Amino acid sequence: MNPRTRLAMVSLACLAGLACSPQDPADSGSTSDQASPVSSEDDRTDVHSYARPAEVAVRHLDLDLDVDFESHRLRGTATLDLTRHGNVSEVVLDARDLTIESVQANGSDLQWSLGESKPYLGAPLTVQLPDGADRISIRYATDPAAAALQWLAPEQTAGGEHPFLLSQSQAILARTWVPCQDTPAVRFTYSATLRVPPGLLALMSAENPAEPSTDGVYSFEMPQPIPSYLLAIAAGDLEFRSLGERAGVYAEPPLADAAAYEFEDTSEMIDAVEALYGPYRWGRYDLLVLPPSFPFGGMENPRLTFLTPTVIAGDKSLVALIAHELAHSWSGNLVTNATWDDFWLNEGFTVYLEQRIMEALRGKEYADMLALLGRQDLKSTIDDLPAEDTHLHLSLAGRDPDEGMTDIAYEKGRFFLRMIEEQVGRERFDTFLQNWFESHAFQSVTTAQFVDYLEENLIAGDKELAEKLQVEAWVYGPGLPQNAPRVESRAFTEVAAQMASWLSGRARIADLEANDWTTHEWLHFLRGLPEDLDAEQMRELDQQFNLTSTGNSEILHAWLHHVIARNYEPGYQALEDFLTGMGRRKFLKPLYERMAKDEQMKQRAAAIYAQARPGYHAVSTATIDEILGWTGES
Identified binder of ligand BES from the candidate list 49, 170, 336, 489, rule CB under 6 A: 170
CB 288: neighbour CB atoms within 10 A?
27
Q: Considering CB distances under 5 to 8 angstroms, the limit depending on partner class, which of Zn ion, ligand BES, none binds residue 563?
A: none
Measured at the alpha carbon of residue 65, what is the angle toward residues 296 and 142, in degrees to the nearest 5?
A: 60
Which string of b and e fits 174-193 if b means at least 16 CB within 10 Å?
bbbbbbbbbbbbbbbbbbbb
Q: Which of 357, 255, 359 is nearest to 307 (CA)?
A: 255
Residue 353, classed as helix, strand or coil, is helix
Measured at the alpha carbon of residue 332, what is the angle toward residues 327 and 335, in degrees to the nearest 5?
A: 110
Q: Least Å distance between CB 49 and ligand BES?
A: 15
Q: Least Å distance between CB 439 and ligand BES?
A: 23
Parallel, antiparallel, or unpaired: how do β-strands 164-167 and 56-68 relate? unpaired
Report how many residues bind Zn ion under the rule CB under 5 A: 2
Query: Segment 286-345, which members bind ligand BES (CB under 6 A)?
Result: 296-300, 321, 324-325, 328
Exposure of 410 by Cβ count < 10 A (0-12 exposed, 13-18 middle, 19+ buried)? buried
Report how many residues bind ligand BES under the rule CB under 6 A: 15
Q: Considering CB distances under 5 to 8 angstroms, the limit depending on partner class, which of ligand BES, Zn ion, none binds residue 451?
A: none
Q: Considering CB distances under 5 to 8 angstroms, the limit depending on partner class, which of ligand BES, Zn ion, none binds residue 298?
A: ligand BES
Q: Which of 567, 511, 568, 512 is nearest to 539 (CA)?
A: 568
Q: Which residue type does 116 have?
A: E
Told to judge if 41 belongs to the known catalytic residues of this protein, a careful annotator would answer no
Kind plus residue range of the DSSP H or E element containing 288: strand 285-289
Phi, psi of 287 (to 5 degrees): -115, 150
Query: Segment 547-586, which members bind ligand BES (CB under 6 A)?
Result: 586
Q: Nearer to Zn ion by C-beta: 167 or 350?
A: 350
Q: Least Å distance between CB 630 and ligand BES?
A: 21
Rounded Cα distance, 345 and 423, in Å: 20
Q: Nearer to ligand BES by C-beta: 263 or 568?
A: 263
Interaction between residue 405 and ligand BES (CB under 6 A): yes
Q: Least Å distance between CB 568 and ligand BES?
A: 26
Interaction between residue 124 and ligand BES (CB under 6 A): no
Rounded Cα distance, 405 and 352, in Å: 16
Interaction between residue 520 and ligand BES (CB under 6 A): no
Check 280, 285, 410, 568 and give the catalytic one. 410
Q: Which of 345, 602, 330, 340 is nearest to 454 (CA)?
A: 345
Told to judge if 410 belongs to the known catalytic residues of this protein, a careful annotator would answer yes
Interaction between residue 613 and ligand BES (CB under 6 A): no
Interaction between residue 400 and ligand BES (CB under 6 A): no
Q: Least Å distance between CB 57 and ligand BES?
A: 23
Q: Least Å distance between CB 538 and ligand BES?
A: 28
Rounded Cα distance, 489 and 499, in Å: 16
Site string for ligand BES, 582-611 (x = CB under 6 A): ----x-------------------------
Q: Which of 243, 487, 219 is nearest to 376 (CA)?
A: 487
Rounded Cα distance, 381 and 419, in Å: 19
Which string of b and e fits 511-520 if b means at least 16 CB within 10 Å?
ebebeebbbb
Query: Segment 321-380, which members bind Zn ion (CB under 5 A)?
Result: 347, 350
Whether the Cβ atoms of residue 339 and residue 44 lie closer than 8 Å to each other: yes
Q: Nearer to ligand BES by C-beta: 184 or 216?
A: 184
Q: Nearer to Zn ion by C-beta: 191 or 333?
A: 333
Whether the Cβ atoms of residue 134 and residue 82 lie closer than 8 Å to each other: yes
Site string for ligand BES, 409-438 (x = CB under 6 A): -x----------------------------
Check 325, 359, 421, 593 and give the catalytic one. 325
Q: Least Å distance between CB 83 and ligand BES?
A: 28
Q: Least Å distance between CB 307 and ligand BES?
A: 9
Q: Nearer to Zn ion by C-beta: 234 or 299?
A: 299
Q: Nearer to Zn ion by C-beta: 55 or 359?
A: 359
Query: Segment 52-111, which members bind ligand BES (CB under 6 A)?
Result: none
Q: Considering CB distances under 5 to 8 angstroms, the limit depending on partner class, which of Zn ion, ligand BES, none binds residue 299?
A: ligand BES
Exposure of 150 by Cβ count < 10 A (0-12 exposed, 13-18 middle, 19+ buried)? buried
Return residues touching Zn ion (CB under 5 A): 347, 350
Catalytic residue numbers, as ranges = 325, 410
Return residues touching ligand BES (CB under 6 A): 170-171, 296-300, 321, 324-325, 328, 347, 405, 410, 586
